[in-house]
A = this chain, B = another copy of it.
Amino acid sequence: MATIADVARIAGVSLSTVSHVLNGTRFVRPETEKAVRDAIAATGYTPNSLARSLARASTNSVGIAISAVSNPYFSDIIRAVESECAALDMTIFLADTHDIPERELQVVQALHQHRVDGIILAPSTTSSERSVTYLRENKIPAVLVDRLVSAEFDQVGVYNAESVERLVDHLVGLGHRRIGMVPGQPGFATTLERIAGYRSAVARHGIDAEDDLIAPGSIDIDSAADSAEGLMRVAHPPTAILAGNNLATIGVMRGLRRGGFAVPRDVALVGFDDFDWADSFEPRLTVVAQPCLDIGRVAANLLLERIKDPDKPPTTTRLQTSLIVRDSCGSHLRRPASPNRDRNA
């Protein structure tokens, strides 16, 4: 593998000149530049990014610490971040936190050791966890996505409570007064906010709010399925279920099907997070959709700003969700008194 020294030797110039030609950091005569470029072509030289990053003290890369595994919802975010960064010739380190705090810390440390310029993190647990502490103590430019746990960092998420309230409003508008909830991952900031939104909406409408209507948090599809089955076995089972995220939604459907319940005939269902197949398969789900691409875009831009200016005050951004009404509540069957067939925020 050719080095810059080889290029310099063949071009008959100094190391400095080759470097300056490569980076445009000072003027060189057109003839000299051509000699250098010819030598580069002849040797097939490509700069060693490691040495370059070492000297520049900047790697032109960002790390994404996210649970890309269990959460398909993140792939759109990653996609948007990748797209923004690629436009600026930055590369992406992807590391999977598996949503386990311990692993999350390891992953953040690994990214730091690789000297990424900044980190986008979806923190697993609620408050100042070790990984967040690590970011703060090492002054690593960072943006938190999805779960907003610390206002000392730049953060991007959605209005979780309000979105759930809109789902509850929708159900109440259709006449439902016993609404069950199958939340997402227990302990996550998003989960807590969404449960709070549920409680708030239910209280506002003055309808049933027994604790047995809220299932425990679900860690995967199957536990959500179990929760749904459990919900339908209580004394007065709900007439509608609200699923706390994409995996919970699939799980609830699986559980209901297993229990012999049809949606929306036996029970209505609304979900948090949309799917691109949701308009083609039955039951066509009524959901609130997150602007995943926007989240990723905003996160990437916030991070790049933060890298440029590490001392600017951190901002927390919440984006709007969209209520997409389809058929999973039977709203096309039993029309309510107050029709609210809104399609968008």
B contact residues around A51 at 8 Å (CB): 54
Q: Which residue from chain B places its CB closest to the CB of A250 in the assembled complex?
A: B277
Q: Are B59 and A68 in contact (CB under 8 A)?
A: no
The stretch from A89-97, A152-160, A163-171, A181-189 touching chain B is A89-97
The stretch from A9-17, A74-82, A206-214, A303-311 touching chain B is A74-82
Instruction: A174 to B276: give the CA distance in the assembly, Å.
Output: 30
Interface size on A, residues (CB 8 A): 46
B contact residues around A276 at 8 Å (CB): 221, 250
A102 at the interface (CB under 8 A from B): no
Q: Are A93 and B94 in contact (CB under 8 A)?
A: yes
- Measured CB to CB, the closest approach of chain B to A86, in angstroms, equals 7
Knowing A69-B82, A75-B68, A281-B282, say if A50 contacts B53 (CB, 8 Å): yes
B contact residues around A115 at 8 Å (CB): 48-50
Mask of A82-117 contacts with B, CB within 8 angstroms, 1/0: 110010000111111000000000000111111100
Q: Are B68 and A79 in contact (CB under 8 A)?
A: yes
- Measured CB to CB, the closest approach of chain B to A7, in angstroms, equals 15
A253 at the interface (CB under 8 A from B): yes
Instruction: A281 to B279: give the CA distance in the assembly, Å.
Output: 11
- Measured CB to CB, the closest approach of chain B to A222, in angstroms, equals 10
B contact residues around A275 at 8 Å (CB): 277
A344 at the interface (CB under 8 A from B): no
Instruction: Give residues 249-266 of A contacting B (CB, 8 Å).
Output: 250, 253-254, 257
- Residue pairs across A and B with Cβ atoms less than 8 A apart, 20 shown, are A47-B113, A49-B115, A50-B59, A50-B114, A54-B54, A61-B114, A64-B94, A68-B79, A68-B82, A69-B82, A72-B75, A82-B96, A86-B96, A91-B93, A91-B110, A91-B114, A250-B277, A250-B280, A257-B279, A275-B277
